[in-house]
Structure 1
Amino acid sequence: MFRTALRNVLAHKARLLMTVLAVMLGVAFVSGTLVFTDSLSQAYQNGSAKGYSHVDVAVRPVHQQSKGDRLGKETELTRALLDDSARVPGAASAIGVVQGFTAIADKNGKLISENFPSRGGNYWGGKDPRYPLKSGTAPRGEDQVLIDSETARRAGYKVGDTIRISVDGPVLTPTVTGIFTTDDGHVAAGGSLALFDTATAQKLFDKPGTYDEIAVKAKAGVSQAELKAQLDRALPRDRVETVTGKRLAEQEARTIEASMSGMKRGLLVFAGISLFVGTFIIANTFTMLVAQRTRELALLRAVGASRRQITRSVLIEAFVVGAVAAVTGLIAGIGIAEVLKSLVKALGAVIPEGPVVIAPGTVLSALAVGVLVTMLAAWLPGRRAARIPPVAAMSSVHAKATTKSLVLRNTVGALFSAAGATAILAATTMDTNTAQTVMALGAVLLITGVFVLTPLLSRPLIAAAAPALRAFGVAGKLARQNAVRNPRRTAATAAALMIGLTLITGMTVTALSLQRGIDKMASSALRADYVVFMANGNFLSPEVEKKLRTVEDVTAISPLRNSPSRIEGRTEYLTGVDGAAFGKLTNLKVKDGSFTIGGTRVVVDEKTAEGYGWKAGSRFTVAYEDGKKQKLTVAGLYEGNEMIRGIMLDNATLSPHQSDPTDMQVLVKTADGPSDATKDRLVKALGSNPGIKIQDKKGLSQEIGQMFSLMLNMLYGLLAMAVIVAVLGVINTLAMSVFERAQEIGMLRAIGLDRRGIKRMVRLESLVISLFGGVLGVGLGVFFGWAAGELLSTKLETYELILPWERLAVFLLLAATVGVLAALWPARRAARMNMLQAIKAE
């Protein structure tokens, strides 16, 4: 039986090629994802390990825990602690580390690392071992700075150039005195790093006389553990903690691995979809191969082969096919990893160089996925073939499914579909945490149910195309009949395309609807013409608000300022605003009381108020970050959203209790509304600061739109893999169908249907099957998009369902194109058949 199985594989090379390709694509995506993420993770980890080579032990401040009305604070690392660290017996040196935000502009005045960390720090003494100088000298004073070599290369800067930088507000124009190299992982990822002398860095980052960290280097022969123990004895344990360099590198490696896991999971999901779609093709192929060899298998049964041997022979064929596909898929996956790396670079990311990592787990995963998926898909056809009695197989009475089997299949499909739809509808009314799980389960059940029901659905849906097919005469009529002749095969072929289009449609509807909801929220909640914020999300200096107030067109302005506090034993963040102007800048719906902010009167969003049991007129005690307490009165409750929520009070009340007031953003309203001229005046008032963004509501919407467009384009690219696999499935089915109907096609040629008619018949059959899958996919996708929207609307009240009719039409056109392209080779093969040989074929 083993030799028979191998001969069967070799005897059907052309027919099994599509199956090999389907499995290979899925395996290639899985292995490519693993190779790509492993290589990227290893490159970042190698860089981070080098970055900690100068640190044997790091001394860090301890954050005190908040208790009662007392807010926990972070202890300060003073010069005295630095000196104590340097004096321990095992320490060779100790460096005080200062860090903060520093934006660097390119020669056109734009932020260099807009989408990546823009960081600043201190250069220690005349020669800092952390940052080897590539050229130039150490900086001294605010008018001198060092920049990393990657930033210098990207922006075209060299020693002696004057650059524009921003720390937390004011624009500085220092001279580049040197360029350094670094293994910093943030720089390798595309960020920038600027270094000042220590005193300047402490002043700019508002840390006079203190440090963020103390990096201690051990003497020769002293281990990191020994140095840590000495530091623990010498330093106050209630104020600082010590971490070895090895532990820091391990923590960084875990962080990198965790950050890569999301990308890995996302890519593996799409690989799984491709394999899931490929499973239908494999099952379809083996079903047809087994059907074509029915008499051969019956003869084997007649001469003594058992049912188990027949099933085993089919599984051996599947094993050989899966092994070949797995090996070729693994090789192709390495190429896909390089393509993914190029794609990420094209999107603007900077990827550190490193070797291609092919882990043993990747090899085992590729082989296991390829072989197991193929064997599982082939098991049912093999089992079905083994159960056919030899005499029945000889006479081919098994060809049609029994009424009992069809009733059972339709009953199971109806139950799965009903259960899935019920679960999805129930999830739309549930709590968000459990609803996602229930909806995901319902989606799986519904897709499974629809797949099981597709043979039943194929007849009425394909029959609906009859009027259009009549226009093609005999070829159109024959195409319709051929499409419904074997409903199970048609269903399996259409299902592959259905799943891909279901995901594409569902994601498109959800993303576009979510975008519209966010746009509406921004436009309805804000009356301000502009929102001013830091490009990387850092806090703004209060100087920004002061400078904006000097612009003559500005009629109302309010900074949004965050401050931690303690209320009833809980840590709660307060939002400070300009009480007199805030009502003119926002349009928040008042649910109770009045929107009055000033003195001790505050407004609170509904959800926060509900958590404390407050209503309009309620009074509560707040402990500010400086420890002082005050009684505040709830003047009103408002309907919060994702942009504006929380407890709001006047900055005149909040700011005296803040040691370092900074703003999250500043809302600005102007006399003439948003315009290019007005925006230019605001930009100039801020000194053309590269680190600050000034956006009107249209600009905010466009930025959100760009994010969703990028996300959808990436999803379309990934889901294209499933569509390619579906194309292979249609080609496979048509090729098998043409082979099976050789006698019939020969007879049609003999009675007068020309080659063009034969080609048209096969193409129309393919078109009908593809559109059948497309209609099911788009329909399910719209339903899933609606259901996901119902779930999102509980979190985003401005959510609005959008049905992008143009895109839906494009998706159906895509399905039709798949049908036309997939039919090219089978149609040509059918038309070129010799009619006499075809008529004689068995």
Structure 2
Amino acid sequence: MRMVRHRIGALVAVMCAVLGGAALVTGTAVLAESGIRSHVSAPRIAGADVVVSAAQTLPQDEDLPVALPERAVVPADLVGRLARLPGVTTAAGDVSFPVAAVDGQRVVPAGDAATAGHTWSSVALMGDPPIQGTPPTRPNDVALDAATANDLKIGPGGQAHLVVAGRPATLQVSAVVHGPARGVFFADQAAYQLAGRADGPHKGPKKDTVDLIGLRTQPGAAATVADEARKLGFKVSTGPDIGDIATPSAAAARSLLILIAGSLAGITLLIVGFIVTGALTVSIGGQRRELALLRAVGASPKQVRRLAAAQATVVSAVALVPGVLLGYALAGQFRSLLATLGVLPDALPLTISPLAAIAAVLLLLGVIQVAARLAAWRTSKMPATEAVAESRVEPKNPSPVRTRIGALLMVLATAMSVTPLILRNQFGAVGTATSGIVAAIGLALAGPALVRSLSGALARRLPSRVRATTWLAVSNSHGYALRVAGAVSTLAMAVLFTLTYTMTQTTMMSASSQDVDQGMRAQAVVAAPELGGLPAGTLDKIRATPGVRTAMPVNTTTVLWPHQEEGKHRVESQPALVLTPDAPAVLDLDVRAGSLAGLTGNTVAVSADTASFMDTAVGRDVDLLLGDGTPTKAKVVAVYGRGLGFGPMAISRDLAAGHFGTGLDQAVLVSTDGSAAGLAALGDQPGVKVDTSNPRAGLSGVGGAPPEVYVNLALLAVLLGYILLGVANKLVAGTTQRRHELAALRLVGTTPRQVRAMIRRESALISVVAVGTGLALSVIPLVLLGIGFLGRPWPAGPGWLAPATVLVVVAIAFLATELPARRALRTPPAQVLGSHE
């Protein structure tokens, strides 16, 4: 502890590095834990004690199960069987279907329009909500939730104008439900018909099924009822698991949290490790004299390393607690960002528990222990007399093993950046984003040899008339190559990270946008998201409009690919477009084999990357699972090139029918001859939107830059701030530890002005080497990124990014050395040399 008190400046840098690292690691851990353990809230069935449903996940060997985003159903006759179980007081089967209320030209939301319609019997699953009026019993009766009824300004006995399952209807309001959830409720038989679960105009492939069955039980009987229900072979949920069954699509979003946490974890851990290790190296490097004296008085090498690690742990412990608390707050902001971007449903909360804090603390303590011991390794292993002699100078020659490892890492980073040439998707882009950090770590290891070589070459070429301050700056850089290399590598990492990480995200976004722009042949898109889908007959109206050449319905879904990987069962989830044989008239996916016109029956088209990954080709059959888990075998009829913009897969409408969404078309892409002015009239219908300026909006949910790209861009500011803080702290601590050196220069006649000039020249030299190496190491990854994604040898991104990065890095290099040097020069040199360091 006495050693700690005398090294406050350097240890503050360690504390800042650990605090920021704890915040970043904790925030990432919270996202990962939420992806595993979070549960969706379900006020609509919150009163159910037990819920019986089909399984909504698919197991994998030695991995987390994959969630089904579409609803898997159970037989309707199961309701009666469950109602007869001992202890059951209420058994209610529920279905959902699109319903929206209309007030003139205004659409009044009654919850999620795609799933707002439900059976009246499901109201009992809310608990015992107050009900005003009488239950709906006739096909033209309806019950509204209180909020919707208030928005429409109607009550029992009034008439509500609704769009039900794509058809407009005026229905009699028989009741108003004052419950915790919004919805529109119909007599059970009417609801079954509207959802296509019974004979009628909407009958579909899910006839005689329900989405789920909620059970209310006698007090204390829930566990027994659940055990009995499990014997029937269906999924039985109780407690918080009920919410996941109520909203499968929201529960499926948990896998996205795991994916995002995984994409953040690698880059975050590398940066945190780099910054924390750098700060500890500066701190312990300034204590080489004390550690050498400990060796001289008999301390063993193990004791010296243990002392260095203990000191680092004590200091870090002070920063861990506030860092962890900041991490929880940071995770909350991440979740809000994801919800704002539409990436995460509002119903899915974060899981807040001590596990994330424990994981972050253990991980950082491990990093701190290893880094501190490595920093003290050389001094602890040297003979005591040699350690004391070398405590004021650096080793003459950098370790050749360290240099070779650093060079190997930089070569590895270059090899990693080749992936965009092989995979034109987010997996290919990972190589570029990661290569920058790996190269920076390699530079940190090989840096002393590089700095010594460059400064030695510069010293030999300095003219005899050069100023003394310049000669001192170059000589210092050569003599203290290890110290200078630490500053160079950290500043270079800021350049590398900013350019490679940012350009990776912007290039993916640009390539995706380019794919869609080049592949979109439609001139308009018609959609009705507020109605849960396009009203029935809209497609026929569009096709009958003068000037319309082709109108194709387009939908999105999720397809799963079960396969064996190294002897283990795996399931890959892929977003997919649902297309018809009319696709070639409105979309150009850069078909390289086969034809999209063959998308009829059980057929599928795949992107070139997906075809390679699945080892398939045109004419071959692939085993797939549709979004609700239904197994199918589909023939590949086309392989296309624009997978980044249009997604990895497109399946035929025939294959997807009844197994995705609401049964209503999400959008219609329209190709015209330029004279289809009549399309605008379709927009007069409430809730129907005609967009002639951005037809790509019809592809929402499939293709485009993956969601984690937007999160990564937001995270960039946080990580970059952490890096720059670490850089500044490291430089300040390093300069502060040079007080004795600067004082000695003063005593031999150097003026404060000359010392400051020397410091500035050192900063200039560090900046030039750092910026030069950072730019040089980023060139190859960015060139390969541009070639792989855009077909040109440069990436997409703002032109000001590189100059701004260089300017910030140079400013930090000068300010973080000039300011502490000025402060050190205020103390008389004799006082500095006479003080205990």
> TM class by shorter-chain length?
0.7 to 0.9
Q: Give distance in 1, aligned partners of 2:671 and 2:480.
A: 67
What amino acid is the match of 1:400? Answer: E
Question: Which of 406, 410, 414 is matched with 1:417 structurally?
Answer: 410
- 1:27 equivalent in alignment to 2:17: no
Partner residue in 2 for 1:696: 694
SS in 2 for 1:833: coil
What amino acid is the match of 2:402? Answer: R
8 Å CA contact retained: 1:762, 1:826: no
Partner residue in 1 for 2:728: 727
- 1:119 equivalent in alignment to 2:112: no
CA gap of 1:452–1:688, structure 2 versus 1, over 3 A, is same
What amino acid is the match of 2:807? Answer: L
Q: Give distance in 1, aligned partners of 2:766 and 2:330.
A: 31
- 1:808 equivalent in alignment to 2:802: yes
For residue 549 of structure 1, report the CA deviation from its aligned partner: 2.8
CA gap of 1:701–1:744, structure 2 versus 1, over 3 A, is farther
CA gap of 1:459–1:523, structure 2 versus 1, over 3 A, is same
Deviates more, 1:798-807 or 1:436-445: 436-445
Question: Which of 174, 181, 198 is matched with 1:208 structurally?
Answer: 198
8 Å CA contact retained: 2:56, 2:72: yes
CA gap of 1:247–1:776, structure 2 versus 1, over 3 A, is same
8 Å CA contact retained: 2:433, 2:500: no
For residue 157 of structure 1, report the CA deviation from its aligned partner: 7.5
Q: Give distance in 2, aligned partners of 1:319 and 1:564.
A: 48
Residue by residue, what CA displacement relative to the aligned partner does 1:807-840 show, whole Å, maximum 9, x if unpaired?
Answer: 2222222322433443464143134233554577
Q: Give distance in 1, aligned partners of 2:648 and 2:27.
A: 43
Mark the runs of 5 or more structure 1 residues left unpaired by the alignment.
1-5, 64-72, 185-191, 566-571, 620-631
Question: What pairs with 1:285-300 in structure 2 (closer than 5 Å)?
Answer: 285-291=282-288, 294=289, 296-300=290-294
Partner residue in 2 for 1:376: 370
8 Å CA contact retained: 1:424, 1:438: yes
Deviates more, 1:165-174 or 1:716-725: 165-174
CA gap of 1:104–1:730, structure 2 versus 1, over 3 A, is farther
Quick one: percent identity of the two aligned structures? 20
- 1:577 equivalent in alignment to 2:580: yes
For residue 669 of structure 1, report the CA deviation from its aligned partner: 1.9
8 Å CA contact retained: 1:424, 1:787: yes
What amino acid is the match of 1:212? Answer: D
Partner residue in 2 for 1:275: 272
- 1:284 equivalent in alignment to 2:281: yes
Q: Give distance in 2, aligned partners of 1:215 and 1:592.
A: 49
Partner residue in 1 for 2:144: 146
CA gap of 1:331–1:440, structure 2 versus 1, over 3 A, is closer
What amino acid is the match of 1:722? Answer: I
Question: What pairs with 1:593-632 in structure 2 (closer than 5 Å)?
Answer: none
SS in 2 for 1:128: helix
8 Å CA contact retained: 1:29, 1:333: yes
CA gap of 1:288–1:99, structure 2 versus 1, over 3 A, is same
Q: Give distance in 2, aligned partners of 1:654 and 1:36.
A: 32
8 Å CA contact retained: 1:771, 1:812: no
Q: Give distance in 2, aligned partners of 1:416 and 1:456.
A: 15
Q: Give distance in 1, aligned partners of 2:332 and 2:299.
A: 49
Q: Give distance in 2, aligned partners of 1:771 and 1:164.
A: 71
8 Å CA contact retained: 2:580, 2:600: no
Q: Give distance in 1, aligned partners of 2:275 and 2:594.
A: 60
For residue 230 of structure 1, report the CA deviation from its aligned partner: 7.1
CA gap of 1:452–1:557, structure 2 versus 1, over 3 A, is same
8 Å CA contact retained: 1:285, 1:733: yes
Question: Which of 407, 422, 442 is matched with 1:449 structurally?
Answer: 442
CA gap of 1:725–1:86, structure 2 versus 1, over 3 A, is same
8 Å CA contact retained: 1:97, 1:214: yes
8 Å CA contact retained: 1:301, 1:307: yes
Q: Give distance in 1, aligned partners of 2:9 and 2:506.
A: 43
Question: Which of 264, 285, 301 is matched with 1:307 structurally?
Answer: 301
| TM-score when normalising by structure 2 | 0.73
Residue by residue, what CA displacement relative to the aligned partner does 1:570-617 show, whole Å, maximum 9, x if unpaired?
Answer: xx99966365xx5543446566788877999999779799988767xx
| TM-score when normalising by structure 1 | 0.72
Partner residue in 1 for 2:539: 545
What amino acid is the match of 1:577? Answer: T
Q: Give distance in 1, aligned partners of 2:242 and 2:405.
A: 54
Q: Give distance in 2, aligned partners of 1:521 and 1:132.
A: 53
Mark the runs of 5 or more structure 2 residues left unpaired by the alignment.
58-70, 200-207, 560-573, 622-633
Partner residue in 2 for 1:683: 683
For residue 97 of structure 1, report the CA deviation from its aligned partner: 0.4
For residue 249 of structure 1, report the CA deviation from its aligned partner: 3.8
Deviates more, 1:600-609 or 1:53-62: 600-609
Partner residue in 1 for 2:236: 243
CA gap of 1:832–1:421, structure 2 versus 1, over 3 A, is same
Q: Give distance in 2, aligned partners of 1:178 and 1:135.
A: 6
Deviates more, 1:264-273 or 1:510-519: 264-273
Partner residue in 2 for 1:623: none
Residue by residue, what CA displacement relative to the aligned partner does 1:177-215 show, whole Å, maximum 9, x if unpaired?
Answer: 646443x7xxxxxxx755445455434433336532332
SS in 2 for 1:304: coil
What amino acid is the match of 1:714? Answer: L
Question: Which of 809, 828, 835 is matched with 1:834 structurally?
Answer: 828
Q: Give distance in 1, aligned partners of 2:280 and 2:74.
A: 66
For residue 763 of structure 1, report the CA deviation from its aligned partner: 5.1
Deviates more, 1:530-539 or 1:736-745: 530-539
For residue 54 of structure 1, report the CA deviation from its aligned partner: 1.0
CA gap of 1:447–1:111, structure 2 versus 1, over 3 A, is farther
SS in 1 for 2:498: helix
Q: Give distance in 1, aligned partners of 2:312 and 2:123.
A: 65
SS in 1 for 2:287: helix
What amino acid is the match of 1:834? Answer: P
SS in 1 for 2:447: helix
Question: Which of 494, 509, 515 is matched with 2:509 structurally?
Answer: 515
Q: Give distance in 1, aligned partners of 2:298 and 2:653.
A: 92
CA gap of 1:817–1:648, structure 2 versus 1, over 3 A, is same
CA gap of 1:307–1:810, structure 2 versus 1, over 3 A, is same
- 1:99 equivalent in alignment to 2:96: yes
